[in-house]
A and B are shown apart, each in its own frame.
Chain A
Amino acid sequence: MTAPLLQLAGVTAYYGSIAALKGVDLEVGAGEIVTLIGANGAGKSTLMMTIFGSPQARDGSITYDGQDITRVPTHEIARLKIAQSPEGRRIFPRMSVLENLKMGAAINGFAHFDEDLGRVFGIFPRLKERAQQRGGTLSGGEQQMLAIARALMSRPRLLMLDEPSLGLAPLVAKQIFSVVKELNERDGLTVFLVEQNAYHALKLAHRGYVMVNGRITLSGGGRELLEKPEVRAAYLEGGR
């Protein structure tokens, strides 16, 4: 593992009085793809949002690039070149594809807007064809592409994706994963990937974590986890 870009130590998070994260330790090295798998309601999305400061961690610390971001407000975390494609995509449905992308680029003041636009249109040609279409009228897969493209528009160092393959045809899901791989290999983008699709995620990732009930129960190399009988039993066989 390389030097950690993102480091979580003993992070807890609550919704009211209900604990969703019960002390999470996790590291994402620079240039790595790290995946987090787990059952429904395990707290994966919560963990991703907690890194982003909503809900804020109650105990523990989150360090990004040597800086403690545990108590930094969400919109300022976004300025640290962390971008996310959140659960449910959360694109702006009534705004056009292009406007959605502009929203993604706003954070660095549109410094290299045209260049970045060309880049994401190169990755997702479908979006270019539909640049003027309203986000809400895109197909599910196209919306996912838009959510990822929007995140990429800010030129992030760390890209966090929450279930990017959700609801996509296997072929499209595969395409999304290969885009992630390419961005990682070619541009050195660090990726934190939350997935239900454990097989593909673990195959793609350098390392993986398994979350059960707000705790990390297993971690290790992607392939290594794939071989583990407990992982196979819980997340692969039948679930694939």
Chain B
Amino acid sequence: MTAPLASPLPHALKDAAITALIAFGLAAPMMGLVTVQVGGDLALEQHWDRVAWAVGIVFVGRLILNLTLWRPGRVRTKLAVSPKLEARLMKLARWLAPAAVVIAIALPFLPGIERYQIDLGILVLTYVMLGWGLNIVVGLAGLLDLGYVAFYAVGAYSYALLAQYFGLSFWLCLPLAGLLAAFWGVLLGFPVLRLRGDYLAIVTLAFGEIIRIVLLNWYWFTGGPNGITNVPRPSFFGIADFVSGKDGFAAMFGLKFSGLHRIIFLYYLILALALITNYVVIRLRRLPIGRAWEALREDEIACRSLGVNTVNTKLTAFALGAMFAGFAGSFFATRQGFISPESFTFIESALILAIVVLGGMGSQFGVAIAALVMIGGFELFREFKDYRMIVFGLVMVLIMVWRPRGLVSSRTPSVFLKEKKAISGALVQEGHG
């Protein structure tokens, strides 16, 4: 036991005051002074009340933290979630995943679900799919890819351009877009074979930007910043279009025409694509190639001396990850009907990566939850758009503090002797003995 400590109050006050000062320094220019347009001129408007609020909140918050959670000498509990609860959650998760799928399938027909919610569902599912795709590269193979959006862009532009120049249908372009994206994945893979960690991250980041800038400047071919408009909408598997005429989908199936049909169809399309992605990833994890990816993440030299061809293994990870982004990209193009390089900025890569990391690298279920929380949360805070980046950042920091290995950090082994036993990532630390 430690000896009784002196009152923590003076120290806590001092620390809180310093923090408040920093908050003042930040808030004064950022929140206190606002530029406004007065006629043709810019003028400064002063909002010292906001600054006072911000400083006050920071001071009180820091003080409370200093006296409670950060109190010196406080015995730290290592786990935020007790092992028992964790085990129970894991059991629950086994039911949760199929339940989530059932809910996702029923969603468009649930009461109270309107076009807005279905649109949001499409958006979330797109990111779930992208997260699952990137999970192959980052979560399984451990290759930090900051330019994933490039493959999403390749997929989107593949479809839009093939449709524009050759009039090819969505259903033909979907696999083509995947193949083209996979091809670019291999193309990126070759030069970065020897790189790892931060170096790899920088090169992939650059790659993502190169693709975007090429799309932006190749004016005569891609339309440059204007993008491509009138990207054809998908038909009902090439049988019928979602139009109101007598050849339309509604007439064909004896339904009353509704614009919602296409939205619901798009919803199921992305749901199916996402589930296929999930299925493929789960299957691959059990195959030698999937295990090789994971082993590669852990120790490349050991892999090689066990006979793993690390070049091929890395390239397949890049190619497969890119392929799913390509599928998602061509879906994005057909859903929006309009694409431009604006949609493929670095922030998208960062968002997808954040989803994978927050979800707990390598965990499919965690990634889905993270996508729901992040994209859904983003939408929820749409009205407070000034603050949503702050909330967004705060949530990310909190999750990482609370669960440094991501939301679902347990990794289920891919082979078993007799019964399945999940190994919790939070419970066991790596030993280096």
Contact = CB atoms under 8 A, between A and B. Distances in A.
B309 A75 contact: yes
Interface size class, chain B = 20 to 34
Contact of A90 (B301, B411, B429): B301
A48 to B, nearest CB: 10
B431 A136 contact: yes
Contacts of A54: 301, 304-305
Contact of A139 (B294, B297, B301, B433): B433
B430 A93 contact: yes
Contacts of B302: 86, 90-92
Interface stretch (B145-153, B170-178, B210-218, B412-420): B412-420
Nearest to B413: A96
Contacts of B417: 98, 131-132
A212 interface: no
Q: Which secondary structure characterizes the binding site on chain A?
A: mixed
Contacts of B49: none
Contacts of B305: 52, 54, 74-75, 78, 83-84, 86
Contact of B423 (A75, A132, A150): A132
Given A79-B307, A96-B413, A137 B428 contact: yes
A78 B430 contact: no
Contacts of B233: none
B202 interface: no
A10 interface: no
Contacts of A106: 288, 291-292, 306-308
Given A93-B430, A137-B428, A138-B431, A75 B308 contact: yes
B94 interface: no
A101 B333 CA distance: 45
B74 interface: no
Contacts of A78: 304-307
Contacts of A93: 298, 430-431
Interface size class, chain A = 35 or more
B299 A92 contact: yes
A183 interface: no
Nearest to A90: B302
B421 interface: yes
A103 B291 contact: yes
B164 interface: no
Contacts of B298: 92-95
A143 interface: yes
B306 A107 contact: yes
A59 B111 CA distance: 76
Nearest to A153: B306
B264 to A, nearest CB: 41
A134 interface: yes
Contacts of B432: 136
Interface string B269-296: 0000000000000000000100110110
Nearest to A98: B415
A106 B288 CA distance: 7
Nearest to B423: A134
A110 B428 CA distance: 29
Nearest to A76: B307
Interface string A148-172: 0010001000000000000100000
B309 to A, nearest CB: 5
Contacts of A92: 294-295, 298-299, 302
Interface string A54-69: 1000000000000000
A133 interface: yes
B431 A99 contact: no
A78 to B, nearest CB: 3
B66 interface: no
B310 interface: yes
Contacts of B430: 93-94, 134, 136-137
A184 to B, nearest CB: 21
A163 to B, nearest CB: 14
A90 B309 CA distance: 17
A138 B294 CA distance: 19
Contacts of A110: 288
A31 interface: no
Among B299, B306, B308, max chain A CB count under 10 A is at B306
Contacts of A143: 431, 433
Contacts of A150: 306
Interface in A124-143: 131-134, 136-140, 143
Contacts of A140: 433
Contacts of B429: 137
A99 B433 contact: no
A96 B424 CA distance: 12
Contacts of B423: 96, 132-134
A14 B308 CA distance: 24
Interface in A69-117: 74-76, 78-79, 83-84, 86, 90-96, 98-99, 102-104, 106-107, 110
B433 A167 contact: yes
Given A52-B305, A78-B305, 8 more contacts: A54-B304, A75-B305, A78-B307, A90-B302, A92-B299, A106-B306, A106-B308, A139-B431
20 contacts: A52-B305, A74-B305, A75-B305, A75-B310, A78-B306, A90-B299, A91-B299, A92-B298, A93-B298, A93-B430, A95-B295, A96-B413, A98-B417, A102-B288, A102-B291, A131-B417, A132-B417, A133-B423, A136-B428, A150-B306
Nearest 7 Cβ contacts at the A-B interface: A78-B307, A107-B307, A140-B433, A90-B302, A136-B430, A96-B413, A92-B298
